[in-house]
Structure 1
Amino acid sequence: MRLTKSFLPTLKEVPADAQIASHRLMLRAGLIRQTASGIYAWLPAGLRVLRNIERIVREEQNAIGAQEVLMPTLQSADLWRQSGRYDAYGPEMLRINDRHGRDMLYGPTNEEMITEIFGQTVKSYRELPQSLYHIQWKFRDERRPRFGVMRGREFLMKDAYSFDADYDGAVVSYRKMMLAYLRTFQRLGVRAIPMRADTGPIGGELSHEFLILAPTGESTVYFDAALEQQDWLAQSVDLDDPESLGRFFKDVTTSYAATDEMHDETAWKTVPADRQREGRGIEVGHIFYFGDKYTRSMGVSVNGPDGAAFHPHMGSYGIGVSRLTGAIIEAHHDAQGIIWPESVAPFKAAILNLKPGDAMVDEICNRFNHIGGDAVLLDDRDERAGVKFNDADLMGHPWQIIVGPRGAKEGRVELKNRRSGERLDLSVDEAIEKVLS
């Protein structure tokens, strides 16, 4: 893709209303533009990041057997009246009337709707368990939206819902989801620490928040360094074996981790001093078991082995997809700009052409187009080298392929790694192989 033909409007000045790094950099790098308070349009580069995050989230949900659906953004108020949440939810819910005067709402979450869909379809215990998810836009009318996409009013979310015959089955579903989350965040290039969260009146320990470590996080976090050192992708867990899932869950939950709200000084003192870590965290996910709260209140039941009806147990599992874009930047940036993990970067590399018109640049682009699709952005603008270097750093491309007049004569390029700053003098073949590997 050529920069001169692209809609990638970068900004030199820092927007005055942008308070945190991710908001400033998303605006400056041309990822988003604000259209109303707390509501943003996603421009081409930002949308590419969003789609990359979606893809990884989707792959890990599918890997544990969750099935994707797509529910509408508008919901009937009658569903929420059945569950008792319509009047209790508060002013964050956007309530509207259609042309026939029916009460509707722009969904902030989907427990009621998925329970209704499940109840219309599943009638026997033989059809359990079920795990359904979707990736859909949500709306919560925040009183004071701020921090860009980190606390906006409209946001993209993955929400999943599990249905099981009993508590033991719900625990298995919960543990599968925890594994999927840990693997998802690792693939996204961030460390998200699972922290036990308040379960409210349900009680127990089946509620965990996932927080990305970043200096601008809203919560203070305390955790055992052992959680940072785990390679969740390399762990062998048998999803069909409850005992294997149990061992994994024990490994995760026996290591201390808590936000300031749940912090226990007595338990904290049992963590070896050299493994105690304290910092700030940004919540990007939450998994929660709530039993038959919705199936009971909405009158949804299935027939058991003895023919008697029972209310299935449910869990709810959310990941803030659009929020993750900002959180990843908060965790990965420097004074020059964004430092994208390769898995989510809008482009794998930028080709910085310092000798406009050189045939070698066209050769490199053609090679990438043949091998890597549109993974590379060619900066073919008639601009000074310094402008191209600054914009490449700002946009955070993992690699920069620098084609200069002297190197071009010898068929060589300079390859810069954005994260480490390392520069390598390579042949074209070597540079392409390095980027695509």
Structure 2
Amino acid sequence: MLLSRYFLPTLKETPAEAQIVSHRLMLRAGMIRQSSAGIYSWLPLGLRVLRKIERIVREEQDAFGCVEMLMPTLQPAEIWQESGRYDAYGPEMLRIIDRHERGLLYGPTNEEMITEIFRSTVRSYRHLPKLLYHIQWKFRDEIRPRFGVMRGREFLMKDAYSFDLDRAGAIRSYNKMFVCYLRTFERLGLKAIPMRADTGPIGGDLSHEFVILADTGESEIAYHRDFLHMSLAGQPVDLEGDLQPLVDAFTGKYAATDEQRDPAVEAALGEALVTGRGIEVGHIFSFGTKYSRPMNAVVVGPGGDSVCVEMGSYGIGVSRLVGAIIEASHDEAGIIWPESVAPFVVGILSLKPDDAACAAIGQRMYEQLVAQGIDVVYDDRDERAGVKFSEMDLIGVPHQLIIGPRGAKSGQVELKDRRTGERQELAVEAALARLLK
């Protein structure tokens, strides 16, 4: 992408309404613009990041046997009345009456909708288990929307739903999603800690929230220091095998939010206890027959009797993750994206576009990187070098190729690592080889 043709409305000053780092940087980097309270337009740079996160989430859901579908944003009120949640959910639900006097709502979640679809299509235990998911916009009418995309009213969410014949099957599905979430957050460049959680309005008796570490996080957390070194990287995961030991390895370690901390356990941990701040980015639930029983979601069991299916739901805040990653990874100059979700992986800065040698090297490197499928942005604008440096750091491009007139004469460029700030002077071919690795 040539920056001279791109739409990147960056801001020099921090907007007064932005209270937290991610909100400030997303506005300054030209990623979002507010439409109304808690509702945002995603501008090209922000949309690129959002789509990359969505892609990774989707790939991991698919890898763990989930089947994608798409449910509507508007849902009929009667299915929520059937489950008993229509009145219980509270004022966060946006209720609508259409021209035919039918009640609708803008979905804050999809347990009722997916249960209605399941009960009308699945009849036999032979078609179980089922894991279904979609990635769709949700709406919750927060009384005080704030912190940008971290706590908005409209947000993009991945929600998956499991259907099993019995409790044992439901736990297997739960464990599968537990491991899927750990792997998803690792791919996003995040250290996620699973914590036992309250089930809230979703219901059930088994729930974990996944909290990422961030100095500017919204909640105080305490956890065993082993979490800092635990990883699934390189570990083969047998999706058809027993995942319980792997889940136990994580849940067996102490981890708690500020409201759930256990002084006795923490005292026993001693130096193994670490405290910090975190941000919730995912939540999983196993809630048995909370929805299937009132909505009569049954199948014919092995003995010919009717069996009420066991269910679970599994959410990841896709748009919230954009802000959460920034909260976990930034400095005074701007955003530091993990390479997996960066809007552009490589940025080329031509410090003197009207210099023939600079222009030739810049165009050649740009074309070769694009040909290899690398997301690259080429700052070919007639701007001061300081502006180019500051904007490339602000938007967080991980690898920056700097082409100046002196180096260009001898076929040299400078390669900068955004995260460490390290710079290396390399020959053009060596820089290209480094990036193409």
Normalised by the length of structure 1, the TM-score is 0.97
The separation in 1 between residues aligned to 2:170 and 2:209, in whole angstroms, is 18
User: Which residue does 2:304 correspond to in 1?
Assistant: 307
Summarize the alignment of residues 26-425 of structure 1 with structure 2, pairs less than 5 Å apart. 26-199=26-199, 204=205, 206-242=206-242, 245-271=243-269, 273-357=270-354, 358-373=359-374, 375-425=375-425
User: 1:74 touches 1:105 (CA, 8 Å); kept in 2?
Assistant: yes
How far apart, CA to CA, are the structure 1 residues paired with 2:432 and 2:120?
Answer: 53
Q: Is the 8 A contact 2:204 2:288 kept in 1?
A: no
**1:259-302 CA deviation, whole Å, 9 max, x = no partner?**
1122111222332x332110111111000110011000111100
- Once the two structures are TM-superposed, the CA of residue 203 in structure 1 deviates from its matched residue by 6.7
Letter in 2 for 1:363: R
d(CA) in 1 for partners of 2:328 and 2:429?
Answer: 32
- Name the aligned partner's letter for residue 300 of structure 1: A
Aligned partners of 2:204 and 2:290 also within 8 Å: no
**CA deviation string 1:112-164 (max 9, x = no partner):** 00000011111011110000010000000000000000000000000000001
Unaligned runs of 5+ in 1: none
Q: What's the CA shift for 1:432?
A: 2.3
1:366 Cα offset (Å): 1.2
Partner Cα distance (2:276, 2:18) in 1: 23
CA-CA distance at 1:405 after TM superposition:
0.4
User: In 2, are the aligned partners of 1:338 and 1:396 still within 8 Å (CA)?
Assistant: yes
- Provide the secondary structure at the position in 1 that maps to 2:120: helix
Distance of 2:351 and 2:107 partners within structure 1: 50
Q: 2: CA distance between counterparts of 1:304 and 1:223?
A: 43
SS in structure 1 at match of 2:261: coil
SS at match of 1:261: helix
Amino acid at match of 1:94: L
Q: Which amino acid aligns with 1:311?
A: C
Matches of 1:365 and 1:32, distance apart in 2 = 27
Are the counterparts in 2 of residues 95 and 104 from structure 1 also a CA contact under 8 Å? yes
Q: What is the alpha-carbon distance in structure 2 between the residues aligned to residue 115 and residue 203 of structure 1?
A: 15
Q: What is the CA-CA distance between 1:97 and the residue it aligns to?
A: 1.2
CA contact (8 A) 1:237 1:248 kept: no
1:366 corresponds to which letter in structure 2?
A: E
Cα deviation for residue 359 of structure 1 reads 1.4
Residues in 1 aligned to 2:392 and 2:237: alpha-carbon distance in whole angstroms: 40
RMSD of Structure 2 on Structure 1 (CA) = 1.2
Counterpart of 1:135 in structure 2: which amino acid? I
1:215 to partner: Cα distance: 2.1
SS state of the match for residue 296, structure 1? coil
Distance 1:252 1:237 in 2: 15
For the residues of structure 2 that align with 1:226 and 1:353, how far apart are their CA atoms? 45
| CA–CA distance in structure 2, aligned partners of residues 84 and 153 of structure 1 | 23
1: CA distance, partners of 2:337 / 2:253: 29
Query: Higher mean Cα deviation, 302-311 or 229-238?
Result: 229-238
Secondary structure, aligned partner of 2:344 = coil
- What residue identity is the alignment partner of 1:372? G
> Does the CA-based 8 Å contact 2:138-2:157 persist in structure 1?
yes
> C-alpha separation between the residues in 2 aligned to 1:125 and 1:280?
44
Q: CA deviation at 1:200?
A: 6.3
Match of 1:294, SS state, is coil
The structural deviation recorded for 1:428 is: 2.0
Give secondary structure in 2 for the equivalent of 1:378: strand
Is the 1:208–1:286 Cα contact (8 Å) retained in structure 2? Answer: yes
2:229 counterpart SS class:
coil
Query: If the length of structure 2 is used for normalisation, what is the TM-score?
Result: 0.97
How many angstroms apart in 1 are the aligned matches of 2:90 and 2:435?
Answer: 50
Contact 2:204 2:287 in 1 (8 A): no
Tell me the distance in 1 between the aligned counterparts of 2:115 and 2:51.
28
Count of paired positions: 432
User: 1:76, 1:436 → 2: CA distance?
Assistant: 51
Equivalent pair of 2:31/2:42 in contact (CA under 8 Å):
yes
SS class of match (1:270): helix
Q: Secondary structure at the match of 2:259?
A: coil
Task: Report which stretch shifted further, 426-435 or 357-366.
Answer: 426-435
Q: Distance in 1 between matches of 2:84 and 2:60?
A: 33
